[in-house]
Amino acid sequence: MRRFGWHVICLVALAVLLYPIAWLLTASVKPANEILSSLRLVPERVIMGNYAEVFRGMAGVSVWRFLANSLIVSVGSVVGTVVSCSLAAYAFSWLRFRLRNVLFAFTIMTILLPIHVLLIPQYTIFQRLDLVDTYWPLILPKLLATDAFFVFLIVQFMRSLPRELGDAARIDGCGPIRAFAYVVLPLTRPALVTTAIFTFIWSWNDFLSQLIYLNTPKNYTLPLALRLFIDQTSQTSYGAMMAMSVLTLVPIALFFFAFQRLLVEGVATTGLSG
């Protein structure tokens, strides 16, 4: 009975968590008046015109352009974060230099710094560099190991690697760079995969930073494209907005299911599960 009770509790919790997604899926094929007037999960009338409106494009821009923009930002963020954070983590975990612990502590302290504190200084810098309304403000900071969380994650994993491997590499004539490329980096694959997955998801769902730096519709990503369905005259196309939301979730779901095994392995081996 105790096991049965736990199963019932888990199923109820799962239903509560999945209800918003199920409602979104059904709302994407409902007429606009039914979306606003009814909370029923099963639509009274199924229409596919919402998806047709989405694929016709918004503000003269195709939905495929929005998808390509999101991929550019997300993939660029993944590459920048994985490369820069792995290099910084290697320096903090395997190399010996002055003030190493102090700098690492300072890096971890930046996790407590709210992102809103940095918005105005960063925007001023990119505006003076004439990079506003481009993707560089969204990708360039990722190349500087600014995500202290991922630096900490990779550092903890690299510290668990046997130090004898580095000694053997030095005996064979490898310097710090070759030891990183041929010894440490291949063994850090679970942590790097975890970093890549979380960075992709967070970058894909990011709205605030993209709203600040991207101004023209042709440069909009999918989260920003959802705003195009909201008219200032209160004529909002709710059905098309729901259909666009479903299309926005599809790449995230496919990406998660494709790398689910690697994500679980990375979380288990990097200590995030605790």
Residues 18 and 124 in one domain: no
- 43 and 55 assigned to the same domain: no
Whether residues 78 and 204 fall in one domain: yes
Over residues 12-49, the pLDDT tens digits come to 999 999 988 888 888 888 887 888 777 778 888 888 88
Assess contact for 196 and 218: CB atoms under 8 A: no
Residues 79 and 119 in one domain: yes
**Using one digit for the tens of pLDDT, what is the confidence trace for 202-235?**
999 999 999 999 999 899 999 898 888 776 555 6
Judge contact between 74 and 135, C-beta under 8 A.
Answer: no
**Same domain assignment for residues 139 and 154:** yes
Measured at the CA of 266, the angle between CA 261 and CA 269, to 5 degrees, comes to 125
Domain hosting 34: range is 1-47
Total count of domains within the chain: 2
**Positions of the chain with pLDDT lower than 70, given as ranges:** 231-236, 263-274
Distance CA 66, CA 58 (A): 10
Read off φ and ψ for residue 58, nearest 5 degrees: -130, 140
In this structure, are 119 and 28 located in the same domain?
A: no
The whole model's pTM is what?
Answer: 0.85
Same domain? 259 vs 179: yes
Do 101 and 40 sit in the same domain of this protein? no
Q: Alpha carbon 92 to chain centroid distance?
A: 25
User: Looking at residue 183, which CATH number applies to its domain?
Assistant: 1.10.3720.10
- Asked whether residue 35 falls in the same domain as residue 84, the answer is no
Q: So what's the pLDDT on residue 272? A: 45
What's the pLDDT score for residue 168? 85
